[in-house]
A = this chain, B = another copy of it.
Amino acid sequence: MSKIDTDHIKLDKLASNNALYIIKIGGNVIDNSENLYHFLKDFEALEGNKILVHGGGKVATQMAEDLGIESKMVDGRRITDIETLRVVTMVYGGLINKNIVAQLQRFGNNAIGLTGADGNFIKAVKRPVKTIDYGYVGDIVKESINPQNIGKLLDAGFTPVFCAITHDGDGQLLNTNADTIASALAVSLSALYETTLIYCFEKKGVLKDINDEESLISEIDPERYEQLKEEKIIHSGMLPKLDNAFTAISCGVKAVIIGKSDELGQLKDKKPFGTRLTNNA
C-alpha cells in the first residue's frame, strides 16, 4: 500500500473518530414503542460518536395524572412544582431513560443513561421569576459543560443518553428543555468534535408547504433563511427552532439537521435526510 493510501486511511479514521452526532428525539418517537424500536435501531447503526437526548413530556403528563397531580402549562411550557419535578425525575431519568438504554444495549450499543447531574455534565440555574414562576425549571449554564469530561465517556466507548434534567450544583435537580440541552451539548462539544446536531420531529424537515411532505427544503444557509423568512414561507412555529439552529452553527456546530425520526436510516446510507442547515449550503 502506498504512503498516500495509508495516509488516506489514517485521515478517514481520524475523521470518523472525530465525527459526533447529537440527536434529539421527542414525544412522537418516545410515546410509540414501535417508532422507538426502529429509531434506536437506526441510531445504533449510525457510525461515529453519538449522543442521544430525549424528553418525554406526554408520559410524564400521564404519570402525573395517574398520581392525581395536575399538570400546569403556560404557553406550552410545563410549570414544574416540587411534585411535578418528582414525576419528571422518575419518568425522564428512570422509566424512559433506562428503557432506552436497555434497548440500545440489546442492539449492541454501549449506552449510558444520564441527567446533567451525573458526572456534573450540565449545570443550570433555576429560572428567575419574572412574570411567571416556572418552578424547578433550569436555564443551562453553558460554560458548565466541559467537553473533555463528556469526551472521556465517548473515548471509553460509551454512548451518553441524556434526559431533560439538569442540576444546580447545590443538590437541586431541574427540569430542562431537551432541545436546549441538545444544542448546548453540540456547541460545547464542537470544541473537540466535528458535531452534527439532529432534531427529530414529526415532519420530513422544513417544508415550503406545511401540508405537503414532498415540499421539503433540503438545505438552508443563513442567506436563504433570510429569503424564506421574507417570503413568509417558513412557518411561525419553526422560527425559534431555526433561529436556535443558526445560533448553534455560528457557535461552531458543523450542521443542524431537522428531519423525521423514521428516516434517520437514510443518513447512514448517505441518502438525503431532512433539512440541512449550514453556514454555507
Instruction: Mark out the residues of chain A between 91 and 135 whose CB falls within 8 Å of any chain B CB in the assembled complex.
Output: 91-95, 97-99, 101-103, 105-106, 110-115, 117-120
Verify if A152 is at the interface (C-beta below 8 Å from B): yes
Per-residue 0/1 for A158-185: is the Cβ within 8 Å of any B Cβ (1 yes, 0 no)?
A: 1000000101011111000000000000
Check B112 against A114 for contact (C-beta < 8 Å): yes
27 sampled A-B residue pairs with Cβ under 8 A? A63-B90, A66-B67, A86-B95, A89-B95, A89-B99, A90-B94, A93-B93, A93-B95, A93-B97, A94-B97, A99-B173, A101-B115, A101-B118, A101-B167, A102-B167, A102-B172, A102-B173, A105-B171, A106-B169, A106-B171, A110-B119, A110-B120, A111-B118, A111-B119, A112-B114, A119-B158, A152-B156
Residue of B nearest to A170 (CB): B106
In the bound assembly, the distance between CA atoms of A156 and B152 in angstroms comes to: 7
Residue of B nearest to A151 (CB): B156
Which residue of the partner chain, among B91, B111, B152, contacts A90 with CB atoms under 8 Å?
B91
Residues of B within 8 A of A110 (CB): 119-120
In the bound assembly, the distance between CA atoms of A265 and B95 in angstroms comes to: 34
Report A203 CB to chain B, min CB distance, Å. 29
Residue of B nearest to A111 (CB): B118
Check A113 against B112 for contact (C-beta < 8 Å): no
In the bound assembly, the distance between CA atoms of A91 and B120 in angstroms comes to: 21
In the bound assembly, the distance between CA atoms of A94 and B169 in angstroms comes to: 18
Check A165 against B89 for contact (C-beta < 8 Å): no
Residues of B within 8 A of A112 (CB): 114, 118-119
Which residue of the partner chain, among B86, B113, B114, B169, contacts A105 with CB atoms under 8 Å?
B169
Residues of B within 8 A of A153 (CB): 156
Residues of B within 8 A of A93 (CB): 93-95, 97-98, 113
Report A41 CB to chain B, min CB distance, Å. 11
Interface centre among A98, A110, A115, A167 (most CB of B within 10 A): A98
Residues of B within 8 A of A63 (CB): 90
Report A98 CB to chain B, min CB distance, Å. 5
Residue of B nearest to A153 (CB): B156
Per-residue 0/1 for A171-202: is the Cβ within 8 Å of any B Cβ (1 yes, 0 no)?
A: 11100000000000000000000000000000
